Each structure stands twice: as C-alpha cells, then as structure tokens.
Amino acid sequence: MKQESGSEIASLIREVNATLNAQLREAFKENDLTPPQMMVIFMLAEEKKLKVSEISTKMNLANSTVSGIIDRLEKSGYVKRMRSEVDRRVVHVVLSEQVEELHHSFHETVTQFLGTIAADATNEQIEQVLTGLNTLRTLLSGKKTKNLRCE
C-alpha cells in the first residue's frame, strides 16, 4: 500500500507541476518567459548577483541546465554576465536594467496568479493543502537517497 501511495504522490506532483508551469507560461507568454527563467529572475532580484553554480544549487538543477537558462535570458536582454573584479575566473549573473524596471510587474503578475489559485478554495481546503505540503516536505527532508539505487 505504501509503495503504491508513493507512486500516486509522485504522479500527483508531476501533474500539479505541469499544470502550474503551463499556467505560469500562459501568464508570462507576452514576455516569452518560462517558469525556470522566472525563478532565476526572482532569485537575482532578491540576491542582486549570483554565480551559475549558486543558482544551480538553489534550483536543484545541473550547472549546464542553468547555463542554458541564463543563455536564453541573456539573449533576450533580461540578465548580464559580469566577471568579478577580484577574480576574473568568477562570473556573476545580474539583472539587466530592463528587467529591474519590469520586476515589479512580474512580481504583481505572480501574486495575482497565485491569488487566483486560492480564490476558488475554501479556508479548509487551503489549510489541507498547506498541511499536506508541509507533511510531504517533512517526510522528504528525513529521507536518505544515497542508499537508493536503480537496479
């Protein structure tokens, strides 16, 4: 029973993630931004500058994946890469001036989007979702995956 529940949980997480990503993509289609690109923009707005490896760690993605995201954001003029003046080998990613001006409207769009999710829910449903997500986070944080192997 518990193993089937684990599969069902994983399936539901994938489904919820896909739905959220599709809806966020729709909300930001005029800016041609994907949810991972938005995550990078919000991280940089908060942190001001980050190395690709720091972004990778925060997003739990490979450096190469994040580099691709940064490449596309840079090509669109949303971010810039800047070499450290202290150590020229270190490259930081920062928001461009263009995005700093747009960040407030991005933030408002996300806030409105998240508000629409909760708008149709009762207080009890919202509490159930929060309780379930917190329980899942607690369960996941206690698991050791190093001993798990695909065979």
pLDDT digits (tens, 9 = 90+) for 92-122: 999 998 776 677 777 787 788 878 878 888 9
Q: Which structural domain range is residue 50 located in?
A: 2-141
Tell whether 131 is covered by a domain: yes
Report the pLDDT value the prediction gives residue 106, as an integer from 0 to 100: 75
Report the pLDDT value the prediction gives residue 24, as an integer from 0 to 100: 78
Tell whether 137 is covered by a domain: yes
Q: Which two tokens stand for residue 48?
A: 């001001």
Tell whether 114 is covered by a domain: yes
Number of H helices, E strands in the chain: 6, 3
Residues contacting 32, CB < 8 A, separation 6+: 76
Report the pLDDT value the prediction gives residue 73, as an integer from 0 to 100: 94
Tell whether 70 is covered by a domain: yes
| Number of structural domains the chain divides into | 1
Report the pLDDT value the prediction gives residue 117, as an integer from 0 to 100: 79
Return the closest-CA partner of residue 38 out of 141, 107, 112: 107
Tell whether 13 is covered by a domain: yes
CATH for 100: 1.10.10.10
Q: Which two tokens stand for residue 5?
A: 């529940």
Report the pLDDT value the prediction gives residue 100, as an integer from 0 to 100: 67
Give first-to-last CA distance, the chain, whole Å.
22
Tell whether 149 is covered by a domain: no
Q: Which residues of the chain have pLDDT under 70?
A: 1-3, 100-101, 143-151
The pTM of this model reads 0.65
Tell whether 150 is covered by a domain: no
Report the pLDDT value the prediction gives residue 149, as an integer from 0 to 100: 52
Q: Which two tokens stand for residue 61?
A: 């993605």
Report the pLDDT value the prediction gives residue 101, as an integer from 0 to 100: 67
Tell whether 26 is covered by a domain: yes
Element (H, E) at 92: strand 91-95
